[in-house]
A and B are shown apart, each in its own frame.
Chain A
Amino acid sequence: MKNWPGKPDGLPMPEPTLRRKALWRSMDDLAQSPEFMQWASAEFPALASELDDSYKSDGPSRRRFLQLMGASMALAGLSMGAGCRRTETRLLPAKFKTAEQVPGRAMYFASSFVLAGKVTGILAETNEGRPTKIEGNPAHPASMGATDVYAQASLLDLYDPDRSRFVLNQGQLATKIALLGMLDQLSAELKKSGGKGLAILSADYASPAIDMLREHLAKVLPQARFAIFEPSWFGQTPPASRHYDLSQYKTILSLDCDFLGHDDEGIFYKRAFGRGRAVENNKGKMNRLYAVEPGFSLTGTVADHRLRLPASKMVEFAGKLLGELQGKASGDAWISELASDLKAGGVVLAGARHPQAAPIVAQINKILGAKPVGRQNGSSDAPQALALGELLGQPASVVVLLGGNPVYDAPADLKVANWLKQAGNVIQLSSHVNETTEFCRWHFPAAHALESWGDARAFDGTLSPMQPMIDPLFGGLTALEVLARIGSYDTKDGYEIVRRSFKRLAGAADSDQAFRKYLHEGVFQPAGDAGGKADPNGSAAPSAPNAEPTKKVSDDRPLGKTNLELAFGLDPSVYDGRFANNGWLQELPDPISKLTWDNAAVLSPKTARELGVQSGDILSVAAEGASAEIVAFILPGVVDYSIQLAIGYGRSKAGAIGDGVGTNVNPLRTSKTLGHVVGATITKTGRKGKLATTRDHWTIADHHVIDEQLKERGIVRQGTLEEFEKQPDFVAHQGVHSPDIGNIHPNPLDEYKKDDRFHQWGMTIDLNACLGCNACTIACQSENNIPIVGKDEVINGREMHWLRMDRYFEGADPEGEVTAVTQPMMCQHCENAPCEPVCPVNATVHDEEGLNAMVYNRCIGTRYCANNCPYKVRRFNFFDYNKGTIRESGKITRDESTAPDPLHGLSTPQSFQPPLQELLKMAMNPDVTVRMRGVMEKCTYCVQRIQRAKIDQNIKAGQSIPEKVPDGTIQTACQQVCPTQAIVFGNLKDEQSRVSQMKTSPRSYDVLSNLNTRPRTSYLARIRNVNPKMPGGEMIETKSEAHTRLSLPILGEVRI
């Protein structure tokens, strides 16, 4: 038998004889006929026992079709209205139609997405019983209808062919019966000993139900020890939970806190920040953002003033700022001006990477009068958990790992692997066989969040449920169920536990009705939680370990080329490594460096020059006695002598996609230096590595060319607030002068514009609100079945994203101060589309409503349209990407598997081969064509959503004349996901529609308007709220193309 991707290296595993769990099975299976059982047990004993399992009434109900209950069926999504919940706890297979279910129509279920303790309320779209898209839950405070890249991409994790599929006992396939027997036996033994020798290490699930079980555990097994660890904490305990409503503050200082990127409660912050950023109808109230950071984060690109500062100086900076606010002059103009600006109603956000700065910042905010919102202790009411170091301080005889991957991501000095080796019995619940599995006696698959019952609690106390919408594809348990078993809880049923957890928090408000409403709406606000527990004055000190002033980690020598700083950070794509096997995220370009499929030693041009390093050199980075080899990447805007290293790469057992991608920098991090370390050195190995960026081998060399061209072309238009107030139509004077020359010949579209039957679709993108967070890119990918292409193809420049996030640096000298702007770029739906007349086969044409339509089955692939697209937003299937499989190198090859579709029975043993593509097909949106090779594709304004809305409207209208779709009914995927609502889509014929309103803004402009392409997508210029009193904040007038243009030298220098 051939090798299969899920096979963990180094584990003596037999060839899999089990097929992957499919949703549907043969009719024999359905009937559970004795013949089938006999055949199955004779042929495949392991399978038989699994099948056997389904007979057990009290067992976890695997192997029933769609597991669990009609409840969520009844709760057929917000748009469907609440129905009556049935009492059965079985989900019906999608082939049995329920009243709510209309074939071809998606259903939405409220659920939660939890990322390292941060909760986002979601609505999961399911089509014919399979989740196909994640949307934000508008009712949830940490979503407000938006999501982020991780929530979007978590869908792909559900269908990851490399997910753990089998119970393993010492690396051998084992049955679930054996596992459950072991757990029951273990819990009985533990009960006797009071939990002595038991150590539980859990990921942060932010789940009140788990908190409830932990309380139960503390009673039943008093001697058991429990710890939670998340690499994103940059410490061993969670960072102080302190949230501010940014819409309330005029001045915001980010102290290396990428709150507009992936730090903290992203959407909550982004939405509020965006509100405070609005310039129209917000006169004089636009907020001002200062960012102090070592690397170049999204927050830094948006900032009005950005200061490059080494990570090791952050605490000192905070101290100086505090001093300034307390009246002690720091002697630095930048800080003193910042302090005086902050005094006018400001707030300071401290990054998780600097726990030592947190108490100082808390003090500053107290002085500024900034009041945190949300609960003081965030999501958890549970008994205090141990720090990872404390747990590892004592040997354990039984270790239970609930998620996480400590062997990979725990601080290097804690030597988790050794501790696990010493423990006799290590039991791992994990979605994947990972680096830690090797040290575990038992491994069993974890159910995905979309497959399981659970609940979660957001930073402000809002409770949201987690509901299964599909039978666990590969079986699998949840942390909830495992804890219930270990602690001999009286029910092991996830649903029942969640119901009890709700009862516990709802208190008097509890009722079946309330629970149903909770499941339906996806949120529940426990009484007295919504700010009631909030820390009103922000005075509480953060928890002890983080506040503990650490010894200076370096000598006092200033940073230099022999005394470098390493600054570690989460990766904007793979986070802490948990998404390493997620193709969408691996291929998602870093917002600033545009790197995909890799991490790199990111360093400033000056540092690189002094060290003689070029992008692509493989460096050996050494610190604290450890070293790692990593490819260098030069990025302007990074502080000198500080090397930015993203964690989460270099996974050795992530799966076919994530294995061996990038470099693991975790060995360089000790528990004292999780955020940064000083005293590092680099040496060139002399070898070269290949980095896949979606942009620019020319970044540095051609920097000034691009800078000049950008200004000349006026592609991204921006100005200062002062300039905008003085001359609101300043955008009209930027770029190439392009008078409206009209059309030489009448455009047939003009006739349709006059016709009342048709909408005229259009879009605006507010660059002032756009933060460049990439959420739109992934949402588009998920909605439109956009394939990934693999690292080699990205290097070849063939990424498929329909919506790309363009990033431009600004600033004449890449070694000096630069700033950056981001601009989402997708099909502009030009009325005079240059792509259309060049197509020889009419495969791309205009429709009556102004869409530039792409006829996939008419396209023969001349690529002429893409050549003639001045925006270069068309994407070509150079290979059959949608049929390909990503192999280890990130290269796509054809899937050789000849296995039949698992959805159609399993009568022959051949069908037991893993049919990888069949699984990934389940993630596809059935409303969107999957394109084959040789076909051009591009943004369609989510035409499938437009058509759905129009059909719905027509149904409503009945026989009468087709009605117009009301404004706001249609949200494109990118619009829906956008945390700052920068993207607005709608009917241009309706003057009251939001998009029409936006187009009347004086900031509105078309990109490349000089070509008279008349794009339907227009942009609103970015406004920077520059503080003229800041050093470097003076306005400099430059003459360009006879129009006055104000350049934005907004950066400063601080001597620390």
Chain B
Amino acid sequence: MSAITPENFTHGIAAAPAQIESRPTLVKGGHSYRRITDLILQIIDGSTPKWWFIAFGISSLVASMCVAMILYLMATGVGVWGLNNGVYWAWDITNFVFWVGIGHAGTLISAILFLLRQKWRTSINRAAEAMTLFAVVCAGIFPGIHIGRIWYAWMLAPVPNNFAMWPNFRSALLWDVFAVSTYATVSLLFWYVGLIPDLATIRDRTTSRIKQIAYGFFALGWRGTNRQWRNYEMAYLLLAGLSTPLVLSVHTVVSFDFATSVIPGWHSTIFPPYFVAGAVFSGFAMVITLIVPARALFKQLQDLITVRHLENICKVILATGCMVGYAYGMEFFIAWYGANPYEKFVFINRATGPYAWAYWIMVSCNVITPQLFWFKKIRTSPWLMFVLAAFVNVGMWFERFVIIVTSLHRDPLPASWTYFSPTWVDILTFVGSFGVFFTLFLLFVRFVPMVAIAEVKGVMEEKQGTRGHGHRPDAAEIVPGAPAAGAIGTPAEPAQDQPWGMVATFDGPHDLVDAARKVREAGYKKFDVHTPFPVHGMDDAMGLGRSKVGWIVLGGGIIGLATAIGMQVFAAAIDYPLMTGGKPFNSWQAWVPVCFELMVLFAAFAAVIGMIAVNGLPQWYHPTLKHRSTMDSTDDRFTLVIESGDPAFHAEKTREFLGAIGGKSIAVLEA
């Protein structure tokens, strides 16, 4: 009963139940759906643990140090860093690339693993995506502040200004602006779309009025009906499809900052794949760094984020670590094979020059450390992998430092050779960025479900009929202000008392699919099912066609592409042609990155806005939102609602019909 897999939507073929039972368990402990919800919501709805306050206090102090350093920098100038003539970039861009790299794992886990049908991702994707967002926030700090006078950063935007000049779309740095901001936006959208059903669950489960309003606002009135799920899943799939090349493009574009230059040590075609592998490598290491302590602190998560999850992450780290090690070797090979003395010197100098110490830290952390993951013992010991992941993070920071600083400090002209040493401002700003990261992460842990509730339910197996809801009153009994069931739906009642519809609860997704098919076959049109997660095969059962969201996304992508082409050609070749670097005015090759980014950005917005619009959201009031049994369907109930507006609706006959097809707790929904 898999839910969110591409095959469902592309082929519409239901998986056989036999396969379900043979699938390895992704969630341990034999929890019920409701228990899953409880485990995750306990963190948000329960009282705040003491350690959280301590950790938050420390993190926000460190973060405020980062802010103080930035203010100092803005007031004084980038001279407060250790930069010099020659090494014009050092820790600023090192930190930027480091954080962007870390920001890769989240969306990678979400998108690529989603497309590759790696269901183990569901336990960790939420936290990883949050990590992505916060890492991108940290990454965004550095290119912003590295110019010192950050109030001029707006000049990067393609907006009319007093110089009548446009930004230079040939600059890899501008591609960066588009790539990173697109990545941040799309990651945020992706994360938010994934959150909507969980926000609805919180809205429906919490007893705090403030939380009901707050989470309810962001849930946009999500009801979990299959007509919504259908569009939702299409949007999510397309977002995943868009994010996957986007993830690859971001670090490719970041690597262009170096690869498109002429500086030996930077000028290298190996950079894009090497940077992407490195980014995945460091991102997964950071996931380990965050999840191992989180698992220890929230013991209830250990059934959801199992050692098997961690082991899988370790395998990815091992694989990408080997790729990175291979890239290090190839760089040397090409430097030798290319017979360019400048290139050759830079690499020999990396390994033997003044920064050899940094190079060997990088190699030992990034190449040797992950090799330990060949041992299953190490792959399954959380705290051991936590330590190793920390080494990987250190190593990946040094990788960026080595690429940037050792290449710059030995220029083509020996006359401008120099040496870089960081200042205390460099160090405190970098340390402070960790404060920003952890502050945001702690807020996330406290206020947002750390595990994707709906998705986890979709991949777990719950024995039908054993749902423990004995502690709850039967749904029929708690219909707010409901008169006796028999009185409802009397045809003679005045129009204003006409019920909105009738609801029936079914035992599980399979029953619900059967029921839906029967309801459709009985001639009902205005009916829908409410489920905690998208139920496989339901679209067919309900006789629904394909979602329209796909067309909207296609339209968005085309508009984005056209905007990018038009903007760049107009700015660079028509409105204000400028000679830069001897390139033709309309140097189309340079337009490609921005075209791609804007296409993805527009398509992603189209997916989210399209999904919301097609689903008729936001709709913060709906009759089904006040009925207990439909409210519980965002948690663990599988309900079917037939609207009274359906021509075939009849208060008595419909009730009988629902009872006949296996519906329980049949009740009338007030309008």
Contact = CB atoms under 8 A, between A and B. Distances in A.
Interface in A153-197: none
A878 B79 contact: yes
Interface in B142-176: 146-149, 152-153, 155-156, 163, 165-168, 170-174
Nearest to B74: A934
B147 A825 contact: no
Interface string B547-588: 000000000000000000000000000000111111111010
Contact of B262 (A698, A712, A745, A1011): A1011
Q: Which of B168, B414, B578 has the most CB of A within 10 A?
A: B414
B147 A860 contact: yes
Given A861-B148, A863-B89, A879 B155 contact: no
A796 B88 CA distance: 12
Given A860-B155, A878-B77, 12 more contacts: A797-B84, A808-B414, A832-B582, A835-B581, A842-B166, A860-B152, A860-B153, A861-B147, A863-B89, A870-B413, A872-B86, A1014-B582
B147 A862 contact: yes
A871 interface: yes
Interface in A686-703: 695-698
Interface string A855-883: 10110111110111011100111111000
Given A845-B578, A845-B579, A879-B77, A697 B419 contact: yes
Contact of A799 (B85, B89, B153, B177): B85
B157 to A, nearest CB: 10
Interface residues of A, number: 73
Interface string A699-731: 000000010011011010000000000000000
A828 to B, nearest CB: 11
Contacts of B149: 860-861, 933-934
A713 B414 CA distance: 10
Given A833-B581, A840-B156, A867-B263, A796 B84 contact: yes
Given A743-B582, A838-B172, A861-B147, A868 B415 contact: no
B65 interface: no
Contacts of B364: none
A98 interface: no
Given A878-B78, A933-B149, A837 B262 contact: no
Interface stretch (A68-76, A459-467, A746-754): A746-754
A841 B156 contact: yes
Interface of B: 76-79, 82-89, 146-149, 152-153, 155-156, 163, 165-168, 170-174, 177, 257, 260-263, 340-342, 345, 354, 408, 411-419, 577-585, 587, 590
Contact of B418 (A736, A797, A875, A1014): A797
B85 A839 contact: no
Given A797-B84, A832-B581, A872 B148 contact: no
A804 interface: yes
A745 B419 CA distance: 37
Nearest to A855: B163
B586 to A, nearest CB: 10
A807 B415 CA distance: 7
Contacts of A839: 168, 171, 173, 580
Interface in A722-781: 736, 743, 745-749
26 contacts: A706-B414, A709-B414, A713-B341, A736-B340, A745-B584, A796-B82, A796-B84, A831-B582, A835-B581, A837-B590, A838-B171, A838-B172, A840-B168, A840-B173, A841-B156, A842-B167, A846-B580, A858-B155, A864-B173, A868-B261, A870-B262, A872-B415, A877-B77, A878-B77, A878-B78, A1010-B340
Main secondary structure, interface of A, reads loop
A712 B76 CA distance: 42
Main secondary structure, interface of B, reads loop
Q: Which of A841, A860, A1010 has the most CB of B within 10 A?
A: A841
Interface string A771-797: 000000000000000000000010011
A1015 to B, nearest CB: 12
Contacts of B581: 832-838, 846
A967 interface: no
Contacts of A547: none
B166 to A, nearest CB: 7
A522 B635 CA distance: 98
B579 A804 contact: no
Contacts of B168: 837, 839-842
A748 B584 CA distance: 6
Contacts of A807: 415
Q: Which of A834, A837, A1011 has the most CB of B within 10 A?
A: A837
- In order of increasing CB-CB distance, the 6 nearest A-B pairs are A797-B84, A878-B79, A806-B415, A837-B581, A872-B416, A836-B580
A611 interface: no
A871 B152 CA distance: 27
A333 interface: no
Contacts of A841: 155-156, 165, 167-168
Q: Which of B77, B579, B583 has the most CB of A within 10 A?
A: B579
Interface string A224-249: 00000000000000000000000000
A504 interface: no
A762 to B, nearest CB: 15
B579 A749 contact: yes
A876 B88 CA distance: 9
Interface string A430-470: 00000000000000000000000000000000000000000
Contacts of A846: 578-582
A839 B78 CA distance: 18
B413 A837 contact: no
Given A858-B163, A867-B408, A715 B413 contact: yes
A798 interface: yes
B95 to A, nearest CB: 15
B342 to A, nearest CB: 7
Q: Which of B155, B262, B415, B587 has the most CB of A within 10 A?
A: B415
B345 A860 contact: no
A749 B581 CA distance: 10
Contacts of A933: 77, 79, 148-149
Interface string A561-574: 00000000000000
Nearest to B352: A705
A1036 B194 CA distance: 75
Contact of A695 (B257, B263, B415): B415
Contacts of B587: 745
A837 B171 contact: yes
B171 to A, nearest CB: 4
Contacts of B77: 877-880, 933-934
Contacts of B408: 867
Contacts of B79: 793, 796, 798, 878-879, 933
Contacts of A880: 77
A748 B411 contact: no
Contacts of A697: 419
Given A745-B584, A841-B168, A713 B415 contact: no
B261 A838 contact: yes
A1008 interface: yes
Nearest to B153: A860
Q: Which of A713, A743, A934 has the most CB of B within 10 A?
A: A934
B262 to A, nearest CB: 5
A161 B325 CA distance: 59
Contacts of A1011: 262, 412
Contacts of A706: 414, 417
B107 to A, nearest CB: 25
A917 to B, nearest CB: 17
A991 B371 CA distance: 65
Q: Which of B84, B408, B419 has the most CB of A within 10 A?
A: B84
A712 B341 contact: yes
A808 B413 CA distance: 10
Contacts of B172: 838
A1041 B146 CA distance: 41
A698 B417 contact: yes
